[in-house]
A and B are shown apart, each in its own frame.
Chain A
Amino acid sequence: MSVATAQAQIFSVRNLNVWYGSQHALKDIELPIYKNEVTAIIGPSGCGKSTFIKTLNLMIQHVKRVRMSGELLYQERNLLDQGVDLVSLRKQVGMVFQKGNPFGKSIFENVAYGPRIHGMSKKKELEETVERALRDAFLWDEVKDRLHTSALGLSGGQQQRLCIARTIATRPEVLLMDEPTSALDPISTSKIEELAMQLKKDYTIVMVTHNMQQAARVSDRTAFFLMGELIEHDETGKIFSTPNDTRTENYVMGRFG
Chain B
Amino acid sequence: MDGNTVRASSRLLKSTNKTALHLERRGKMTVMVCAFLIISAALSITIFLTVKGLDAFLENGVSIVDFLSSTNWNPTDHKSPTYGALSFIFGSFLVTILAACLAAPLGIGCAIFMTEIAPSWGKKVLQPVIELLVGVPSVVYGFIGLSVLVPFLRSVVGGQGFSVLAGTLVLAVMILPTVASIAADGLNSLPGGLREGSFALGATRWQTIWRVVLPAAMPTLLTAIVLGMARAFGEALAVQMVIGNVRTLPEALTDPAATLTTIITLNMGHTTFGSTENNVLWSLALILLAMSFFFILFIRYLSSRRKFS
Residues in A lying within 8 Å of B, measured CB to CB = 57, 59, 62, 64, 86-91, 94-95, 97, 99-105, 113-114, 117-118, 150, 152, 163, 166-167, 170
Contact = CB atoms under 8 A, between A and B. Distances in A.
A152 B196 contact: no
Given A104-B216, A152-B308, A87 B202 contact: yes
B199 A114 contact: no
B10 interface: no
Contacts of B207: 117
B279 to A, nearest CB: 50
B201 A94 contact: yes
Contact of A150 (B120, B211, B212, B307): B307
B215 A105 contact: yes
A103 B202 contact: no
B212 A103 contact: yes
Contacts of A95: 200
Nearest to A151: B309
Interface in B162-204: 191, 193-194, 196-204
Given A104-B309, A152-B308, A99 B200 contact: no
Nearest to B218: A104
Nearest to B217: A104
Contacts of B202: 86-91, 114, 117-118, 170
B201 to A, nearest CB: 4
Contacts of A90: 199-202
B197 A62 contact: no
A205 B42 CA distance: 62
Interface in B147-163: none
A101 B201 contact: no
A104 B216 CA distance: 6
A152 B309 contact: yes
A170 B201 contact: yes
Given A117-B207, A150-B307, A103 B194 contact: yes
Nearest to B192: A101
List 7 tightest A-B contacts by C-beta distance, closest first.
Answer: A101-B193, A90-B202, A95-B200, A114-B201, A91-B202, A101-B197, A104-B308
